[in-house]
Structure 1
Amino acid sequence: MFETPTAPMDKFLQQQQVLQRLSEDLLQAEEAVREAHETATHEENIAENKYDTLGLEAAYLATGQARRAAAIRQALARWRQFRPLPYDAGKGIQLGALVCLVDAEDRQQRLFLGPDGGSMQLVSGAQIVQVISTDAPLGRALLGRCEGDEVSVQVAPKRLQFEVLRVL
């Protein structure tokens, strides 16, 4: 009937990939904070008149980058504490589930429900796995569902429908 994923989807390996990616993102964000701070405080960027705003703009940028770095640190902490449990058909899909969906055009999609998502894509064998949180509309719609269930979500003007093929 429907094809199931051939590559094993290991939750621990998926979690390690997320932690690696978040660590890389944090390094980039911290470097951006340093650069913006240096620009904001550099003596050549001291305002000479009210229209000279480079230093001020760099300070705003440094503040935004610092907030981004703090959010990544929080996500890292949540993912480090996260312990995905094996799928329990009695409870249905829960946080930590690896899910394979199929849409009306027979396209498969693999999802990993984590404590934080944010459009991160991972690679598992030859498969792409999208990380989403249970705060995302599709993540919320999947909670409690089981293999064979239909799931639908409203995305802008369209209603998307999926069938849950497999859950790990």
Structure 2
Amino acid sequence: MNRQQLQQLVCERLEADLALLIRAAEASHQAATNEESKAENKYDTRGLEASYLAAGQSRRVEEIRQALAAWRNLPLREFDEELGIQLGTRVWLQTADGRRQCLLLGPDGAGLKLPADDGEIMLITPRAPLGQQLLGLGVGDEVSAGKERWEILRAQ
């Protein structure tokens, strides 16, 4: 899978998440403003809880919109060994005992998992300690995640 295909796949997943969350936020807003949500006594907090949920979902909608915009505007460049790993780079890591992991370093959307021909790709950002360590490194370098050390096998 090439860079453009990966970028398109990330955008499609974020768009699907956004559409789902917008529907949920609208439903929460309706529940919060519904006549039945009015408090019947001082201990009745249904309306308040529904408004908290609607506010949280609205914030999440905005976060996904920002992530989607960041991915749409991400310039895709070929891997440059002199610059090392940058945003948009796909990285293959391996531990000493042979466990492997494929990561995509992106501007936002951490935790998103993408299917790939050779397994699964986990999206991480430079805000994560591992993502921050990867910036500027190249094949053969090592990074640590918790107590584990990972060698960079490949970057593209």
Match of 1:16 among 5, 8, 17: 8
Is 1:146–2:138 an aligned residue pair? yes
Structure 1 Cα separation of the partners of residues 100 and 44 of structure 2: 53
Q: Where does structure 2 lack aligned partners over 5 or more consecutive residues?
A: none
Q: What does residue 161 of structure 1 align with?
A: 149
* 1:23-62 per-position Cα deviation (integer Å, ceiling 9, x unaligned): 1111111111111111111112211211111111101110
Structure 1 Cα separation of the partners of residues 109 and 129 of structure 2: 12
Structure 1 Cα separation of the partners of residues 85 and 118 of structure 2: 24
Report the residue type matching 2:6 in the other structure.
Q
Structure 1 Cα separation of the partners of residues 95 and 109 of structure 2: 21
Q: What does residue 63 of structure 2 align with?
A: 71
TM-score by length of 1: 0.89
Give 3-state SS (helix, strand or coil) of 1:56's partner. helix
* 1:96-115 per-position Cα deviation (integer Å, ceiling 9, x unaligned): 11111111211111111111
Q: How much does 1:139 deviate?
A: 0.8
Is 1:92–2:80 an aligned residue pair? no
Report the residue type matching 1:114 in the other structure.
G
Superposition pairs of residues 1-168 of structure 1, within 5 angstroms: 9-153=1-145, 155=146, 159-168=147-156
* 1:64-110 per-position Cα deviation (integer Å, ceiling 9, x unaligned): 10001011111111111011211111111111111111112111111
Structure 2 Cα separation of the partners of residues 14 and 62 of structure 1: 32
Structure 1 Cα separation of the partners of residues 36 and 89 of structure 2: 53
TM-score by length of 2: 0.95
Moved over 4 A (4+): none
Q: Percent identity?
A: 47
Structure 1 Cα separation of the partners of residues 116 and 91 of structure 2: 13
Q: How much does 1:126 deviate?
A: 3.6
Q: What does residue 5 of structure 1 align with?
A: none
Number of aligned pairs?
156
Question: Aligned Cα RMSD in Å?
Answer: 1.1
Q: Where does structure 1 lack aligned partners over 5 or more consecutive residues?
A: 1-8
Structure 2 Cα separation of the partners of residues 128 and 13 of structure 1: 14
